[in-house]
Amino acid sequence: MTMVDGQGPIPDARVLISGNRIQEVSTGNISPLPETDTVIYANDAIVLPGLVNAHVHSPMTIFRGMSDDLPLKTWLFDHIFPAEAKYMNPDSVFWGSLLGCLEMIASGTTTFVDGYFFAEDIIKATDKAGMRALVAQGVIDFPAPGVPEPEKNLDVASSFLERWINFSDLIMPGIFCHSPVTCSANTLRKAYEISDRFSLPLQIHLSETKEEVAEIEKMTGLRPVFFLDSLGLLNSKLIAVHVIYLNEDEIECLAKKDVKIAHCPESSMKLGSGIAEVARMLEKGLVVGIGTDGCASNNNLDLFGEMDATAKLAKVAGRDPTLLNAAKVLNMATVAGAKVIGLDNEIGTIEAWKKADIIIVDTNTPHMTPMYNPYSQLVYSATGGDVRDVIIDGKIVYRDRQFTIVDSDEVMEKVNSIGWRIFKERGNYI
């Protein structure tokens, strides 16, 4: 499954990788294998591009299952913000992020878009795991982990970009503004200016709840999209996350400005936030990737589950079973995800000279049998647990469901230790 536009599934295919790039994709009367270090036989399997998680807060694996079943504002301000202030530090962010990386690798994600605090420790974890990512320093006009003085939030973000801009070919730094409600107009404008100076994407939660939209309208007299437009933030390097409560004019404005969208259906369902009009956005030409959000508002980082939810929610919202077919949704998790972070010339498809980010999905299981349509099978039947092998930048990081670079037992032991300490102090989280 190359995901190249206009190219369907290729049976009995062979993919040759040299260094960190794909050298050749061939089928039919294939010549003998050249001399090679490693051969992976993908019998009874689907080979496809690595998935791109367009929005995640990887350190929040630390809070998986904490304060569930609450409204977003209560969950965020009464539970998550206080927990972050007390328990998030460089050590917990590193181990939580590394656990998130392992969870994503094991479920087929090879690239992710992150935004959180202590972002340098997320980068260290990402580098250790061998993943590709856009890792952004969080900016918010409140005291935050690592930034106790809000007036210094942009100084911290700017220094972060300067330090990590040339760290790795796999990892790109960035800035993540929490939302137009928690960041002032001045903060938003300056965050954009800093990002633009480095030619890097800027991320922001946008129009996630009705309450947020009403609050921004009350403060500014404008709906959220037009408020950001008035600040000069709307452009091809802005990644807007959630965007659930948009009117038609806002969708058209985002499309005209080529803003990239990250859709997080399971998180939005769990928080009762609403359903984004993804089919309408795609119809207007917007690039929409799929994200999991963090484990505190989703509980897992499995993009296969997100694809299933994306397709079905669109059909329910539009009361039309033809909306967002499986092929379109798989495109959102691969090709569109790569476009969200401007890497579509390097990843997102399997074709010669692109980076070798490839996953192999086992189909020799009861729930993947029989096989009529591999697109449908991947979106509606597969789970992250069906991923058998993962290659990132030409390196095998997951082989026969075993990690090859990181000791997963050590990581889980560390995170369990952190979680046990939190549990003993907080007890019942609800």
For every residue of 333-345, DSSP letters joined together read IIIIHHHHTT-TT
Listed by start position, the domains of the chain span 51-340
Q: Identify the residue with better confidence: 35 or 5.
A: 5
Q: What are phi and psi of 140, to 5 degrees?
A: -155, 145
The pTM for the full model equals: 0.97
Structure-block tokens of residue 144: 């935050």
Structure-block tokens of residue 13: 């295919």
- Residue 204 is predicted with a pLDDT of 98
What number of helices (H) and strands (E) belong to the chain?
16, 15
Q: What is the dihedral of CA 113, 114, 115, 119, to 10 degrees?
A: -130
Q: What is the pLDDT of residues 379-404, one digit of tens each?
A: 999 999 999 999 999 999 999 999 99
Structure-block tokens of residue 61: 């694996």
Mean pLDDT over each residue of the chain, to the nearest integer: 96
Quick check: 333 and 322 in contact, CB under 8 A?
Answer: no
Is the pLDDT at 430 greater than 60? The verdict is no
Residue 265 CA, chain-centre distance (Å), reads 12
CATH number assigned to the domain with residue range 51-340, chosen from the 4 options 3.40.1180.10, 3.40.50.300, 3.20.20.140, 1.10.10.10: 3.20.20.140
pLDDT band at 32 (very low <50, low <70, confident <90, very high): confident
Hey, what amino acid is at 110?
Answer: T
Is the pLDDT at 429 greater than 70? The verdict is no
Please state the rounded mean pLDDT for residues 83-96. Answer: 95
For every residue of 260-319, DSSP letters joined together read EEEE-HHHHHHTT-----HHHHHHTT-EEEE----TTTSS---HHHHHHHHHHHHHHHHT
Helix, strand, coil shares of the chain, percent, nearest 5, are 40, 20, 40
Above pLDDT 70, what percent of the chain?
Answer: 99
Please state the rounded mean pLDDT for residues 57-75. Answer: 90
Lowest mean pLDDT among 14-28, 50-64, 110-124: 14-28
